[in-house]
């Protein structure tokens, strides 16, 4: 479950099957997609409803999305060659295209396995138009992945930066779910320790001063600056070693949650996301 806290006054409600809350800077909303026969249509419908809500409440820029997909690597229908994640990616890309989003407008995201027969979506959107999409020098942008991973490449940025409002100190950096992928290839198949280290190295490169400056952001971060970290571990028996590696790399005050979940590629054993401000 995603929980985001704010010290500002919050208004909340329900609309068109979505729960929402907003604080003047961010709007958070969530919805659930039942895995009915036409999964792609149900996914498109939920994304369209979420965007309508963002527009209606005046938070049109989506900065960060979580997609918790039950049976993420399982088959959807016997006649479909794509797995559920592949179908999800197709449906999402269609809605993004319809909305006119280009790769310069897409959110940071997580797409991860869930434990029931639903897909749960969470959107964090903002009124600010001052959002920068960040890519990782060590990875091919996900939206350029070759077709062998699925009929439609996953539409998300490696991170997004929402600039500070005037008067406040720094902006907010949302880091997408990151895994042991170099270029577009999974590396260290079957080796959870090396996958965890590569994942952390990927995030370190993403938030480095060199990479942030190349995207026009005057900031320099390390793994120790991350907060609201979530570590998704595929096999329960790997959780302890993953925790040890993460604890040694992350800041001692960072909030870190560990979750057992399937990852979107069968050969990935761990995925890590985070936030910094
Ligand atoms: C996604 O498709 O939104 C996604 C999937 C991941 C990691 C990050 C984002 O495995």
116-139 tens-digit pLDDT: 999 999 999 999 888 999 999 999
Cα of 122 from ligand 1 centre, angstroms: 13
Burial class (CB in 10 A: 0-12, 13-18, 19+), 19: middle
pLDDT of residue 167 exceeding 60, the answer is no
Which residues, other chains included, contact 68 with Cβ-Cβ below 8 Å and sequence gap of 6+? 112, 113, 114, 119, 120, 121, 122, 261
What is the structure's pLDDT at 78? 63
pLDDT of residue 185 exceeding 70, the answer is yes
Give the residue, by CA position, lying nearest to ligand 1 atom 1: 111
What is the structure's pLDDT at 146? 92
Cα of 150 from ligand 1 centre, angstroms: 13
Alpha carbons 83 and 72: distance in angstroms, whole number? 7
Ligand 1 atom with the shortest distance to the CA of 264 = 10
What is the structure's pLDDT at 169? 61
81-102 tens-digit pLDDT: 789 999 999 999 999 999 999 9
The ipTM (two decimal places) reads 0.96
14-68 tens-digit pLDDT: 999 999 999 999 999 999 999 988 999 999 999 999 999 999 999 999 999 999 9
Higher pLDDT, 80 or 2: 2
- Active-site residue among 87, 135, 152, 271? 271
Indicate if 79 belongs to the active site. Answer: no
Alpha carbons 22 and 173: distance in angstroms, whole number? 19
Evaluate whether 3 touches 19 at the Cβ level (below 8 Å): no
**What is the arithmetic mean of pLDDT over 113-117?**
95
Give the residue, by CA position, lying nearest to ligand 1 atom 6: 111
What is the structure's pLDDT at 35? 93
Q: Measuring from each residue's beta carbon to the nearest atom of ligand 1, which residues come in under 6 Å?
A: 67, 109-111, 154, 156, 176-177, 264, 271
Give the residue, by CA position, lying nearest to ligand 1 atom 2: 111
Cα of 154 from ligand 1 centre, angstroms: 7
**Which of helix, strand or coil describes residue 75?**
strand
Cα of 168 from ligand 1 centre, angstroms: 30
Which residues, other chains included, contact 201 with Cβ-Cβ below 8 Å and sequence gap of 6+? 138
**What is the arithmetic mean of pLDDT over 105-121?**
96
To test ligand 1's pocket by mutation, which of 110, 135, 184, 267 has the most ligand atoms within 8 angstroms of CB?
A: 110
pLDDT of residue 168 exceeding 70, the answer is no
Alpha carbons 105 and 52: distance in angstroms, whole number? 17
197-255 tens-digit pLDDT: 999 999 999 999 999 999 999 999 999 999 999 999 999 999 999 999 999 999 999 99
**What is the arithmetic mean of pLDDT over 166-185?**
89
Cα of 41 from ligand 1 centre, angstroms: 20
**Which of helix, strand or coil describes residue 20?**
strand
Evaluate whether 7 touches 25 at the Cβ level (below 8 Å): no
Q: Which residues pair with 65 in a beta bridge?
A: 109, 123
Give the pLDDT band (50/70/90) at residue 258. Answer: very high
Ligand 1 atom with the shortest distance to the CA of 85 = 2
């Amino acid at each position: 479950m995603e929980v985001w806290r704010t010290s500002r006054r919050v208004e909340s409600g329900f609309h068109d099957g979505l729960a929402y809350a907003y604080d003047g800077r961010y709007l958070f909303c969530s919805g659930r997609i039942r895995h009915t026969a036409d999964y792609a249509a149900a996914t498109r419908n939920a994304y369209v409803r979420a965007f309508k809500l963002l527009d209606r409440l005046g938070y049109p820029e989506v900065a960060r999305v979580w997609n918790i997909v039950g049976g993420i690597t399982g088959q959807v229908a016997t006649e479909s060659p794509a797995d559920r994640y592949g179908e999800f990616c197709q449906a999402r890309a269609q809605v993004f295209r319809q909305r006119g989003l280009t790769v310069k407008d897409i959110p940071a995201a997580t797409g991860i396995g869930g434990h029931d027969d639903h897909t749960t979506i969470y959107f964090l959107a903002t009124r600010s138009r001052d959002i920068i999409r960040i890519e990782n020098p060590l990875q091919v942008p996900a939206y350029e992945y070759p077709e062998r991973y699925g009929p439609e490449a996953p539409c998300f940025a490696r991170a997004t930066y929402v600039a500070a409002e005037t008067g406040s100190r720094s902006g907010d950096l949302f880091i997408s779910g990151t895994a042991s992928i170099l270029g577009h290839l999974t590396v260290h198949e079957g080796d959870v320790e090396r996958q965890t280290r590569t994942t952390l190295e990927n995030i370190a490169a993403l938030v480095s001063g060199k990479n942030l400056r190349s995207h026009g952001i005057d900031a320099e971060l390390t793994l120790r600056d991350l907060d609201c970290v979530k570590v998704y571990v595929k096999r329960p028996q790997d959780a302890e070693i993953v925790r040890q590696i993460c604890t040694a790399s992350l800041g001692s005050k960072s909030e870190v949650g560990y979750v057992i979940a399937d990852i979107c590629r069968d050969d990935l054993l761990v995925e890590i996301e985070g936030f910094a401000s």
